[in-house]
Structure 1
Amino acid sequence: MNRIVPTLTIIISLALGCTSEPAQPAKPAQPAEPVKPVEPVEPVESVEPVEPAPDQPDQPDKPKISTGECDEQQAKISAQADERAAPWSALAHLEKNFPDMKVSWLMKEAPFQTYVVETNATNFGRCNDTGCYLFAAPTSVIEAAVEKSVTGETHDAAVLGQALGLPAANFEGPLRMMTLDLSASGSCVRLPVDEDPGVWKCESEADTDCFKFGGYTSGGVPELMVINAPVALATVRAIQ
């Protein structure tokens, strides 16, 4: 029995030795990567505060182009004039030459006193039972002609007449310049026609300083026929 035990011990030891795997050698530690230096941070430039844009002034509304309040008779005359002038028309004339809807005209001082002041007139122009008829031009054109003619305290009638394409005699002596905003007055306007009161008819094509249909004076200045231009709504300037 004593011989068997050592033998078993040897067999068991051999068996254990055969089944046990040899220990693996430890892997060498990987060297640590060097730490990269931290890049210095560029200082952030201070941002100037943005000033708010100043408020833009409100643009004045563009006046509505209109031929005003015309009665049945004037509307009929205007339609006939537009047909005769086609493709031109009163509206096209206003849009091109009177975009601000302001008209002006000139009167000598004596007639102004006689027909406007002394009679306490309601409307400017030559009046009959159908209304008061007035030839008027763009305010900008009249103003420019007046300024061109004024030297010192007086105006030169010849210069003014030449600028407006009318006889100098029409502008001799003290004058009054009237201005009317058609948008405010609502006055009826149309192309002038041969039958209008105050028309100086041409006797031949060669004539000048006379009425020619189409919305322009013989001197090429745009003109309108204004019916019932109220005195109360017009501004008046004295010109010496």
Structure 2
Amino acid sequence: MRGVFSLSRPRAGGPVVLWGGAQPSGSLKYLTFARYLAAMPPGSRGLVELSGASSALALDVLGRERGLPTVSVTDAAGETYLRAHGFQGQVRQAGSMADMFHQAMVLERDGWCWPRQLTNRALVSCVEAWAAGLRAQVRERFPTVRHVVCGFGTGATLVGLARVFTAGGCTVTGLQPAPGKPLPGWRTWEAQNLGAEDLFFEHQPRMPLATAAPAPDPFTALLEWARSQPHPERVLVIAHNAREPDIARA
């Protein structure tokens, strides 16, 4: 598990950014799933997940590191995004969430490892494992940070960060996409949840979610939200798949 994170304050008086794109898969999801797969039963035939964004990309890299094939079950837009970002595994398109679950379940019964990221609460502790090291690094280098913001996808990253950072006196906010403006890997809780089975269900009443302004990509949405806060210099932006040069376009 990598313990050193790429952190910087790109502009004076602006937010601090965690550059998740510095990870091997180009996403912080790599750290979460690496922790989860460390306990994967031997003999798995491959990896499968319902994802058209960072999770599939991370599992693709982790699968290749382990000599295992990866299957992403997603829609047409998800396949386009994955191929544009170097996904080398197999993509299976599905027209509905029920169809996605069915396809993944068939592979799971055939011996494939399916992390079930939308419902698997164990992934929260996997986030906590790397978030603890992140908090220590932030405390040392940017001690004035008091607020953390990240995109809201499954909710595992949001909840894991909250468990670690709120204990240190910070608040943590999850950012949803603007209405009618979908962003890769993000969802809107009210319209896109699995009810009581959802990983985020039990946390939703007490975890703050905000809505982003319309933006072309998740990183821009996060930056604009942070800059709109009363004290942007106290905000840490969790940029799942951004790399430091991305600041030039945001």
TM-score (norm 2): 0.22
TM-score normalised to structure 1 length: 0.22
Whose RCO is larger (CA < 8 A, sep 6+)?
A: 2
The structure that is helix-richer by fraction is: 2
Give 1 or 2 for the bigger CA radius of gyration. 1
